[in-house]
Amino acid sequence: MDAPAAESPVRDPVLVLIGPTAVGKTALSLALAERFSCEIVGLDSMQIYRHMDIGTAKATAEERARVPHHLLDVVSPDEEYHVARYVADATQACREIIARGNRPLLVGGTGLYLKGLLEGLFEIPGIPEAVRTILRQRLAEEGRAVLFAELGQCDPESASRIHPNDTHRLLRALEIFQATGRSWSEHLREQQAQPSLATVLQIGLDCEREALYERINLRVEKMVEEGLLGEVEKLLAMGYDPGLKAMQSIGYRHMLQYLQGQWDWDETLFLLARDTRRYAKRQMTWFGNDPNIRWFAPSETEAIFNCVESFLMHSLSPPLVKGGIKNTVRNTRNVSIA
């Protein structure tokens, strides 16, 4: 799929709040939104799915009543939702929020979505349907591990950034190589792209590893108490295939394994907490490579408020409005629309 036609970037100030799962983004996002007249735009690749509330830790009805939220419950679990669509939806949401006289506040932990907004989209080469069909047949017959090993040979750079369980992106990388004879990574390096947001303050939340892992353990306990297992059973009763990308995400695949008799309950909870901790570690590895993020502890509320006030004051100053825009994004690079 091709990247959408480029528009001029949103030039008004946009706030971004990122960090690993369970670090405390929700509470701070509400405080920021109420303090600075913001509306929240989701930056989460799982919260876009309907019927998946507990396992994705979506904002509650009470929290949505306090502050308007966007890009939650966008598609059904069996619908495709890729980075290109997210960038288009999020950019449109930002424009509409600004038109209402408020400020966009992007909140979440999906680094690929943020990368698409800040660095632009990679235009995917056309992939013959025959290539897709053969790769899917091989996936069914040979398994994911064989295809991942093959990717490590033809495109080691992509293999290093794609999780072995990410079937969608694994197939996309192999499709590109087999259709063009060149790796996904080579295409990324050669193309230039247009960012969607021009004036951005990125605030990152982090805390000591042991404290974060304890928060994750509590998050898992809370999800289970709120009925994560029942949510998965309901999804199955609605007819959603256990093999769907959405159903194979953290939390949902663990409940499926339990329901299918693969694990007992204690093992399920142990592995769910462990895999969530590993996911948080991957998130911090991703975000830790970005020098533009201003990092704070969740408790440093006043320091964060002061940082936002300074950013807004400088980005809205007369010289900035007359002379150009403040662009805190690093040099434009590319991101795929997988």
CA distance 232 to 80: 19
Tell me whether residue 2 is in a domain: no
Position 317 scores a pLDDT of 59
Angle, to 10 degrees, between the axis of helix 228-237 and the axis of helix 252-259?
Answer: 80
Same domain, 178 and 110: no
Give the tens place of pLDDT for each residue, 2-55: 444 457 899 999 999 999 999 999 999 999 999 999 999 999 999 999 999 999
Question: pLDDT averaged over the chain?
Answer: 89
Cβ atoms of 336 and 188 closer than 8 Å: yes
**d(C-alpha 176, C-alpha 126), whole Å:** 8
pLDDT higher than threshold 50 for residue 335: no
Residue 273 has pLDDT above 60, yes or no: yes
CATH number for 42: 3.40.50.300
Angle between helices 167-180 and 129-142 (to 10 degrees): 130
C-alpha to C-alpha distance for 119 and 329, rounded to whole angstroms: 8
What pLDDT sits at residue 279? 95
The residues near 15 (Cβ < 8 Å, ≥ 6 apart) are: 32, 36, 38, 103, 104, 105, 106, 200, 201, 203, 308, 311
Residues 6+ apart with CB under 8 A from 143: none
- How does pLDDT run across 133-179, given as a tens digit for each residue? 999 999 999 999 999 999 999 999 999 989 888 888 899 999 999 99
Please tell me the total count of domains within the chain: 2
Range of the domain at 200: 14-122+193-323
What proportion of the chain, given as a percentage, has pLDDT over 70? Answer: 89
User: pLDDT by residue (tens digit) across 212-244?
Assistant: 999 999 999 999 999 999 999 999 999 999 999
**146 and 179 in a common domain:** yes
For 167-189, the pLDDT digits (tens) are: 888 999 999 999 999 898 887 77
Round to whole Å and give the CA distance between 44 and 106: 10
Question: Residue holding tokens 């964060």?
Answer: 304
- Domain limit, last residue, from 174, 190, 206: 190
How does residue 321 score in pLDDT terms, banded at 50, 70 and 90? very low
